[in-house]
Amino acid sequence: MNRTDAQNLAAGLLGGTLSQEEFIAQVTRPRSADLGETTLDLDRRRRCGFPEVVFGQGKTVAALEKIFQRLLNENMAVLTTRVDAEKAASLREMFPQGVYNATARTFRIDLDDPAALPAKVGRVVVVTAGTSDLPVAEEARETLDWMGVSTAMLHDVGVAGPHRLVEKLDVFHQADAAVVAAGMEGALPSVVGGHLPCPVIAVPTSVGYGASFGGLAALLGMLNSCAANVVVVNIDAGFKAGYVAGLIAHRRAT
Amino acid sequence: MNRTDAQNLAAGLLGGTLSQEEFIAQVTRPRSADLGETTLDLDRRRRCGFPEVVFGQGKTVAALEKIFQRLLNENMAVLTTRVDAEKAASLREMFPQGVYNATARTFRIDLDDPAALPAKVGRVVVVTAGTSDLPVAEEARETLDWMGVSTAMLHDVGVAGPHRLVEKLDVFHQADAAVVAAGMEGALPSVVGGHLPCPVIAVPTSVGYGASFGGLAALLGMLNSCAANVVVVNIDAGFKAGYVAGLIAHRRAT
Amino acid sequence: MNRTDAQNLAAGLLGGTLSQEEFIAQVTRPRSADLGETTLDLDRRRRCGFPEVVFGQGKTVAALEKIFQRLLNENMAVLTTRVDAEKAASLREMFPQGVYNATARTFRIDLDDPAALPAKVGRVVVVTAGTSDLPVAEEARETLDWMGVSTAMLHDVGVAGPHRLVEKLDVFHQADAAVVAAGMEGALPSVVGGHLPCPVIAVPTSVGYGASFGGLAALLGMLNSCAANVVVVNIDAGFKAGYVAGLIAHRRAT
Amino acid sequence: MNRTDAQNLAAGLLGGTLSQEEFIAQVTRPRSADLGETTLDLDRRRRCGFPEVVFGQGKTVAALEKIFQRLLNENMAVLTTRVDAEKAASLREMFPQGVYNATARTFRIDLDDPAALPAKVGRVVVVTAGTSDLPVAEEARETLDWMGVSTAMLHDVGVAGPHRLVEKLDVFHQADAAVVAAGMEGALPSVVGGHLPCPVIAVPTSVGYGASFGGLAALLGMLNSCAANVVVVNIDAGFKAGYVAGLIAHRRAT
Amino acid sequence: MNRTDAQNLAAGLLGGTLSQEEFIAQVTRPRSADLGETTLDLDRRRRCGFPEVVFGQGKTVAALEKIFQRLLNENMAVLTTRVDAEKAASLREMFPQGVYNATARTFRIDLDDPAALPAKVGRVVVVTAGTSDLPVAEEARETLDWMGVSTAMLHDVGVAGPHRLVEKLDVFHQADAAVVAAGMEGALPSVVGGHLPCPVIAVPTSVGYGASFGGLAALLGMLNSCAANVVVVNIDAGFKAGYVAGLIAHRRAT
Amino acid sequence: MNRTDAQNLAAGLLGGTLSQEEFIAQVTRPRSADLGETTLDLDRRRRCGFPEVVFGQGKTVAALEKIFQRLLNENMAVLTTRVDAEKAASLREMFPQGVYNATARTFRIDLDDPAALPAKVGRVVVVTAGTSDLPVAEEARETLDWMGVSTAMLHDVGVAGPHRLVEKLDVFHQADAAVVAAGMEGALPSVVGGHLPCPVIAVPTSVGYGASFGGLAALLGMLNSCAANVVVVNIDAGFKAGYVAGLIAHRRAT
Amino acid sequence: MNRTDAQNLAAGLLGGTLSQEEFIAQVTRPRSADLGETTLDLDRRRRCGFPEVVFGQGKTVAALEKIFQRLLNENMAVLTTRVDAEKAASLREMFPQGVYNATARTFRIDLDDPAALPAKVGRVVVVTAGTSDLPVAEEARETLDWMGVSTAMLHDVGVAGPHRLVEKLDVFHQADAAVVAAGMEGALPSVVGGHLPCPVIAVPTSVGYGASFGGLAALLGMLNSCAANVVVVNIDAGFKAGYVAGLIAHRRAT
Amino acid sequence: MNRTDAQNLAAGLLGGTLSQEEFIAQVTRPRSADLGETTLDLDRRRRCGFPEVVFGQGKTVAALEKIFQRLLNENMAVLTTRVDAEKAASLREMFPQGVYNATARTFRIDLDDPAALPAKVGRVVVVTAGTSDLPVAEEARETLDWMGVSTAMLHDVGVAGPHRLVEKLDVFHQADAAVVAAGMEGALPSVVGGHLPCPVIAVPTSVGYGASFGGLAALLGMLNSCAANVVVVNIDAGFKAGYVAGLIAHRRAT
């Protein structure tokens, strides 16, 4: 609690605008919901700008149901990642308004009132080095869409055919950030970064074989990028790349 | 070359506003300077917004001298990283107007005319988990300063004393981005990220011993952060973290 | 054999209170049971305070049956870890009094006489960073219960929502030890450790993806914890964490 | 802040036993000291039972001086680890009452009044596998001594001469915990653990060559110990092993 | 664009042999085909000598169909690697003239007119250390065949029976390059290299168990080869080894 | 070819005891059999004392059939390792005299004439740390049996119950070598080695979980053994351990 | 020995053109020189086309002297790699005609008679990503020069300034092979490979910091290159890259 | 204690040939010497055939002096490994009869009475792949000499010049074991193993650079050897390889 908050509380209590019970409630108010094996963060939107995004992997359908219900009760739009097709089918029965993207493996429930959705802001370009990086790029795109950010997609422009990127540089015009997903040697973010004045969020993917070691080669390559504007997220973390790109786009719009 | 550029060239050539020699010059104009073992990127500022920053490690004083001279000739402010004290002393003799930060190991030469410096924009908070992370934080701060971005420093607020961060959350008010440097387990960026609505650029440092493996533990921790707004750069890469934070601050300011 | 034991033996033998045959039997007495491919440690309870806990992975149902039978014959309660559902079903047919915890994957057979069970002692808090860490936490809880130690559970209080832990710090009051299970970056034990005066047994879990490398990132993070009271066990080793926490609780109670 | 604290505060404020200024002071009281690049945790003793122990590596003598002075002002005994001989000499000039252990590389300043020192409690046995593990064992011993815990040392009883440990098992009588330091294959903690009913804190050391990889082999061995009572700390982390053993000894004594 | 190209363009435009529209078309001509999630490199043959080879892993049959159709429209022979049997069956229905090699997992569609096939040139020897390396060797052989290069196969001549290679050294007579596939310790390329005056392309295979770590041991062995003429490709990368060997054979033939 | 061989050849040729054709045959005699994708080493028994042992993994039943047939034609007993149950069933139909050990996954065909079998020689003790190491131990035992060496088995005597080994030390009396299979921390070979005057062949097994990393922890532990008489083979390489132990037993017997 | 050789020998011996002593000499002729701790390969030039190149690291000046003397006696030009400045000074005293390249760390002694040097053949382009890669490139250049191959150098054209390479593509005209040295993320060979129809020998360098892990990141990146014509050598292995490129240039020239 | 020992003790005590004091002395007799930070194993020779060999690394001269003195008092010849030149000089002053091998870094003190030395037995061949492996080979040779085993040395016969080994195969005649030291790719033990009927003890050395990773590449190569008779010791562990080879030679001789 910072000084301003404390002063306000004391003043309210003494001034009578805050009853003792209200004072206690405010100071001790739970900012999370206890759902058994889950402690939902109800305060996330206040602190971080967006509600908690649900990590679907390793959670049962029953656990997800409880979480979704509570988020919707709090008037928060639901975004869940890493949901397999079987779970998605069950969730669709419970939440018919939910939308499953089978490529991205995301499950979303937008709020009933479309008017409540924020207008699309900014511009993020999502790039893939190869066709097989598509699922990661789609996860980023879904996240950006959920955050209300405009996106443009640019696919399969890896460095083995270097002109493919150069031919399409116009797509980056006025971009707030670029998300670049690449497996194998993961060289594309460096090349993209060498052309742009905005941050590049590099996502190593597990596409490859042998000494790609499940995306480790791409990860190390991206961390060692000689381009100064490249930052990195976890292997296959399309969500996280999209999320940070979305934050950048939102900050610019404010 | 994109279509607009090509159209302009053709029109100019046919319309006579572009001589054949000028046409050839434009199309083939070198955008880099050949300095022997160095090919200086003169086009970086146009493409990426800032001049090339010089990676000082492994370069001789003679090579640096040639690079600095050429950058100054092109009216570009010099920022060099990873310069040890001995090299810095030699460079100071050649460029007395240069400033060496011994903690950050940076060498800067600002342009003669202070009026040419951009006004400070935005707000980036640079955070350390422990006192030993200072050199990395200073490298980030120098970079942000060179980019014309305002900074605030917050030191030694690692998770073993969790109240230290909470007591000082006010410092993050209106921040465009946070740079968080941490060694050992590298947990601080996640905790900072859990409090903020802006991107957190996490820098693993090589501070630690044993199973820190020169910063690998912190690096892996940060890549696996459960906070959605955390992106990562290379171990000890204070420059890169500062640079990307600076890009974000600049975009917001535009 | 230490000096006291040797003196007693010699005195007994010479004094006639120990026959030569008894002497030989004592000195050479087998303290283990040869069950073919298993050599059961019958002396474990004397040396270490608790009977041998059975590692179920890689053992056939037939081998487990022989072990269980012998332990029960020796009047020792059975705790088996890493038992899959199929094996558990077979074991339930042989030992109907056995209890299988499908989440923890443990199989227990308590002694027939409940009066033989030790009274619950001490207090250990078992904490998870996320919902997916539940199986590991349950294995720890079963172990502590088998050891006769009181437990409290605290779930899904990872660092991305840092207030969730702070809101519930009261649960740690008078705790002898905390068991903290976390995957991904494994930062929670450090934060918990920063609040407590008792040992924290950190269990990295294999929850995560990409650069979590099956729990390696969490493991390294925990080993490098900047909190002084954090010790670590193997990835997913809920049993071991519970066991050591239980030993601490028992020592305090004595 | 928990409910009890909040209730007390409100009651005090309303009842007049707490002035508004005192209320604000209490709620916003800094629990840390801002020493420039260091934020000293003044609240550590209240939360965790012992003052902050200073990690000496990477800190300048000037920074250490500021920290020591402040700790002494707060009437807290100083323990610093990883202090090399040169720094220790400088510190001795500033703090003549300080004691440097060159093997352990610790620097301690006990409080002026010996009566303030807690009486020695408990019993921890510190074991080494080989002579070269001595520095790590000494760091653990210094820590335990600073915490007011009794210690016994047992050196060079590694598994290649397995009778050496067996001959001396009596030393573990009534031990609250054992600290076992071992390099190379790190097998000793498992063997010690197989004989004892108390927790074994295993410390892998960097003693060895080739495929010991700086202690990694010992670390992995200890993490995979088949003995249930073995927990692990970082490579060469004698301090941490001693600290946790000391916590266990203290809890038992209370 | 290099100077010669630019001069030609300007001359053509001014001389009237190039219309303005043709000029724009040439300068902006797409050298790639946008097939949705794929950007096919149509310029590869001009730059690199051979059309793009399709990496089949992770691509859907639908995506492959679009790619094949376009390549054939451009009069380019199709070579696809890492095609499993199920996909191959579907592709055979669409492209009955296609040939699937189940061992190599390649799918090829040669051009309708056999006369368009280049005459076989050069000589590459493909060697395996053991019988299990056959799939990798076959992938190399298919690639060389598609490139129009003659091959000779030499199987199961690993170093445990060192005379097997020596007995058959004649097969290397006049070879342009050797491709050597080996798993386990990967020693064969060094031994082959010690006998030959031409480059040896070493392919580590994932054949082995335990500390072969999926081919890592063989990879490291080959990279550290004491034979000067050994270069290395990725684990199981029979295609790449064959391709480079084929380039060498082709250069010699020109 | 060494000097003695060369002299004999020349003498024979000139002396007429060797026809020119015989001379050529001897000098160029194939010492291997070309079976397509396999080059069988027919000379192995002459050089190394035993026929080639067949590595069954990755070989088709058809390939194995050809190899077995040829070995039997050469009057060599067949030992094949890493044969799964399905392949074994097919092989049993072709070679009804073959014996499959499902635990060891070995397939053996002894020669028809039992009199041709060598008498059992020497004494090798095969030891396991835990019950789950049985398959590796059985592979070693089958190999030793095929080599005509006597074996004794000692199971489940890992270090967590250290008396189990001590109670049975008599079994090592007059042993030529010990094979010790252990997973997890792999400490047992060191302890066994500390008691014995003969070589200990340590086999790390993939038994364990988490930070055992598929046997890596045990492997590193064994390589770093502080016992001087411990040598190591690959993870799960029961065959190799048995083979070398058998060679030692045979050398002693000669 | 192959059949042809054997036939010739037999014919010569019987036909009298080969005395028995000559026959023995030929068959047993030593093809190596025993220099104590070195066994010099005198047959290398016959088998592989070039004399043995000496690996200078870890060899004493005395050992090098013996080797050089013998090579010169055999009329072979000397090339030694990894010679530090101190050793080079001593060698220069013994072999004044030797030339030391301090950047490449090579020591060469060309044959006295320049006419014996082969005429320069072919064309290899040696490329660096950054200025710090110069030593590796120079080692490659020296090797190619020693082999009599023409070289062109292209420095500091890494991907962060992607136009630098494109501007200079003409230098690759008619190249037989390219050697590309790059540290950090090692992306340059892929980009170069995407432009060329000849083999690209990629050399990862140890240039970088943090997660470059001494060149590992670049190595993995290059092994996973999506360009089909890229092969890889060991980290910093400029010699080997130059050697293989030289073999390719020589084959083309024949 | 085994049954026979126990029976003898009881019989002696009762029969009067063993006084009660003697009985206690025997049963409790210390089999180790407590030298402060060292517990010397005095029983090693009885159990394992040879006295304890001293690991010199990390031990002070004072500690070594105490150990040497005690070993000599017990009439045991001293062998110490990993002694640097400076320590050796100090030790020579204290023990003038000691012999230091600067290449092997061993320090030996043979017993005063040469007649007490065992006669040389057996035959072990020590092989190096390259000249730089000499120190490891010398450590093995010194160990074998101290054990009284005959040795033959074969240097620099690595696989890049494969005829070098073949020319000298006669040296292995009647060998009991071969010790093969190799760095880089570590292929030589496999090739040697393919020629021999005796065990090959492979020693990976840290000779190499780049992806040799300090001997890791050689270590992995040797562990994955396709030759059945190859076992492995730690990187640079010449002592251990020599010791086990010596045990084999001794067993044969008995």
Task: Out of C48, C82, C115, pick the residue that ends a domain.
Answer: C115
Q: D159, D208 in Cβ contact below 8 A?
A: no
Give the tokens for residue F199. 């070589």
| Stretch among C108-112, F112-116, F216-220, H132-136 having the lowest mean pLDDT | F112-116
Asked, for residue D10, whether it belongs to a domain, the answer is no
Asked, for residue H15, whether it belongs to a domain, the answer is no
Q: How far apart are CA G84 and CA G90, in angstroms?
A: 10
A163 and A104: one domain?
no
- What pLDDT shows up at residue F99? 96
- Whichever domain contains G147, its CATH number is 3.40.50.1970
Quote the minimal CA–CA distance from C51 to chain B in Å. Answer: 33
Q: Determine the residue of chain A that is closest to B216 in CA distance.
A: A220
Helix, strand, coil share (%) of chain D residues, nearest 5: 45, 20, 35
Partner D contacted by F132 (CB < 8 A): no
| Sheet bearing B177-182, strands edge to edge | A149-154, A121-128, A177-182, A200-204, A230-232, B230-232, B200-204, B177-182, B121-128, B149-154
Partner C contacted by F127 (CB < 8 A): no
Q: How far apart are CA A233 and CA F140, in angstroms?
A: 46
Q: Do F212 and D225 touch (CB under 8 A)?
A: no
Given a cut of 80, whether residue F113 has pLDDT beyond it is no
- What pLDDT shows up at residue C28? 66
Q: How far apart are CA H186 and CA E222, in angstroms?
A: 10
Partner B contacted by D43 (CB < 8 A): yes
Q: What is the mean pLDDT of residues H8-19?
A: 81
For D7, counting Cβ atoms within 10 Å of its Cβ (0-12 exposed, 13-18 middle, 19+ buried), the class is middle
Q: What is the mean pLDDT of residues G182-210?
A: 96
Q: Do D221 and F187 touch (CB under 8 A)?
A: yes
Residue among B127, B131, B141, B184 with most chain D CBs within 10 A, to mutate: B131
Given a cut of 80, whether residue B146 has pLDDT beyond it is yes
- Considering only CA atoms, which of G17, G252, G250 is closest in space to residue G120? G250
Q: How far apart are CA F142 and CA F151, in angstroms?
A: 10
DSSP state, H103? T
Of D49, D197, D241, nearest to C48 by CB-CB distance is: D197
DSSP state, H102? T
- What pLDDT shows up at residue A232? 98
Q: Do C38 and F161 touch (CB under 8 A)?
A: no
Quote the minimal CA–CA distance from G190 to chain A in Å. Answer: 6
Which position has the higher pLDDT, E205 or A49?
E205
Residues 6+ apart with CB under 8 A from C221: B185, B186, B187, B217, B220, B221, C185, C186, C187, C190, C204
Task: Out of G115, G130, G155, pick the residue that ends a domain.
Answer: G115
Question: Model's pTM, two decimal places?
Answer: 0.92
Strands G149-154 and G121-128: parallel
B135 and B233: one domain?
yes
Compute the Cα dihedral for D206, D212, D218, D224 and give only its sign: positive
* Residue A159 three-state SS: coil
Task: Out of G92, G115, G138, pick the residue that ends a domain.
Answer: G115
Q: Do A219 and C211 touch (CB under 8 A)?
A: yes
Q: A224, G208 in Cβ contact below 8 A?
A: yes
Q: H211, H178 in Cβ contact below 8 A?
A: no
Q: Do A32 and C210 touch (CB under 8 A)?
A: no
Give the tokens for residue C154. 């605290």
pLDDT in tens, D166-211: 888 999 999 999 999 999 999 999 999 999 999 999 999 999 999 9
Count of Cβ atoms closer than 10 Å to residue E66 Cβ: 17
Q: Do H58 and D132 touch (CB under 8 A)?
A: yes
Q: How far apart are CA A150 and CA A120, in angstroms?
A: 6
Of G184, G210, G226, nearest to A159 by CB-CB distance is: G226
Angle between helices C61-73 and C85-94 (to 10 degrees): 50
For chain H positions 167-186, those within 8 Å of chain E (CB to CB) are 184-186
Q: What is the mean pLDDT of residues F35-58?
A: 91
Of C159, C193, C212, nearest to B190 by CB-CB distance is: C159
pLDDT grade, residue H253 (50/70/90)?
Answer: low
**Amino acid letter, residue G129:** A
Contacts of F3 in chain G (CB under 8 A): 24, 28
- Considering only CA atoms, which of D156, D216, D225, D154 is closest in space to residue D187? D225
pLDDT in tens, G137-162: 999 999 999 999 999 999 999 998 88
The phi-psi region of residue F156 (left if phi > 0; otherwise alpha if psi is between -120 and 50; otherwise beta) is left
Given a cut of 70, whether residue B242 has pLDDT beyond it is yes
Quote the minimal CA–CA distance from H100 to chain E in Å. Answer: 32
Exposure string (b/e) for F46-63, b if CB count within 10 Å is 16 or more? Answer: ebbbbbbbbbbbbbebeb
| Stretch among B20-24, D236-240, E106-110, F160-164 having the lowest mean pLDDT | B20-24
When the pLDDT of each residue in chain B is averaged and rounded to a whole number, the result is: 91
B32 and B102: one domain?
yes
Q: A58, C207 in Cβ contact below 8 A?
A: yes
pLDDT grade, residue E70 (50/70/90)?
Answer: very high
Partner F contacted by G26 (CB < 8 A): no
Asked, for residue D1, whether it belongs to a domain, the answer is no
Partner D contacted by B44 (CB < 8 A): no
* Residue B139: HSE in the Cβ half-sphere, 13 Å Cα cutoff: 25
H141 and H93: one domain?
no
Quote the minimal CA–CA distance from F139 to chain C in Å. Answer: 15
pLDDT grade, residue A119 (50/70/90)?
Answer: confident
Q: How far apart are CA F204 and CA F233, in angstroms?
A: 8
Exposure string (b/e) for H147-180, b if CB count within 10 Å is 16 or more? Answer: bbbbbbbbbbbbbbbbbbbbbbeebbeebbbbbb
pLDDT in tens, C79-88: 999 999 999 9
Contacts of F187 in chain D (CB under 8 A): 159, 185, 187, 190-191, 221, 226
> Percent of chain A, pLDDT > 90?
72
Q: What is the mean pLDDT of residues F34-43?
A: 90
Asked, for residue B8, whether it belongs to a domain, the answer is no
Q: How many domains would you assign to chain C?
A: 2
A66 and A148: one domain?
no
- C-alpha torsion angle, residues B13, B14, B15, B19 (rounded to 10): 30
H165 and H101: one domain?
no
Domain that residue C196 falls in = 121-253
- What pLDDT shows up at residue E5? 64
Partner H contacted by C19 (CB < 8 A): no
Asked, for residue C35, whether it belongs to a domain, the answer is yes
Helices (runs of H) and strands (runs of E) counted in chain F:
10, 11
Partner E contacted by B6 (CB < 8 A): yes
B172 CA to centre of own chain: 20
Residue among H131, H169, H196, H224 with most chain E CBs within 10 A, to mutate: H224
Given a cut of 60, whether residue B3 has pLDDT beyond it is no
Partner B contacted by A247 (CB < 8 A): yes
Contacts of H196 in chain F (CB under 8 A): 47-48
Which ipTM was obtained for this model? 0.89
Neighbours of chain E (3+ CB pairs under 8 A): A, B, F, G, H
| Stretch among C60-64, C206-210, G2-6, G129-133 having the lowest mean pLDDT | G2-6
**What Rg, from alpha-carbon coordinates, does chain B have?**
21
Q: How far apart are CA D123 and CA D150, in angstroms?
A: 5
Q: How far apart are CA D227 and CA C163, in angstroms?
A: 37
| Stretch among C63-72, D147-156, F145-154, G1-10 having the lowest mean pLDDT | G1-10
* Residue E30 three-state SS: coil
Give the tokens for residue A12. 């309210």
Q: How far apart are CA A71 and CA A40, in angstroms?
A: 9
Asked, for residue G10, whether it belongs to a domain, the answer is no
Given a cut of 70, whether residue D28 has pLDDT beyond it is no
F208 and F87: one domain?
no
**Amino acid letter, residue C246:** G
Q: What is the mean pLDDT of residues A96-103?
A: 96
pLDDT in tens, G78-104: 999 999 999 999 999 999 999 999 999
Contacts of B164 in chain D (CB under 8 A): 31-32, 39, 41
Contacts of D164 in chain H (CB under 8 A): 31-32, 39, 41
Contacts of A38 in chain C (CB under 8 A): 131, 155-156
* Residue B249 three-state SS: helix
D53 and D157: one domain?
no
Q: C150, C123 in Cβ contact below 8 A?
A: yes
- What pLDDT shows up at residue E100? 97
C81 and C128: one domain?
no
Look up tokens 């069956």; give the residue: E89
Asked, for residue B236, whether it belongs to a domain, the answer is yes
Compute the Cα dihedral for G66, G69, G73, G77 and give only its sign: positive
Partner G contacted by E107 (CB < 8 A): no
Asked, for residue H151, whether it belongs to a domain, the answer is yes
Of C161, C216, C227, nearest to B194 by CB-CB distance is: C161
A152 and A233: one domain?
yes
Partner B contacted by D109 (CB < 8 A): no
Q: A88, A59 in Cβ contact below 8 A?
A: no
Quote the minimal CA–CA distance from D208 to chain F in Å. Answer: 8
- Considering only CA atoms, which of B178, B227, B179, B173 is closest in space to residue B203? B179
F138 and F109: one domain?
no
pLDDT grade, residue G232 (50/70/90)?
Answer: very high
Quote the minimal CA–CA distance from B80 to chain G in Å. Answer: 14
Q: How far apart are CA E75 and CA D58, in angstroms?
A: 65
Exposure string (b/e) for A170-202, b if CB count within 10 Å is 16 or more? Answer: ebbeebbbbbbbbbbbbbbbbbbbbbbbbbbbb
Which position has the higher pLDDT, C215 or G33?
C215
G248 and G138: one domain?
yes
Length of chain H as a residue count: 254
Q: What is the mean pLDDT of residues C119-132?
A: 94
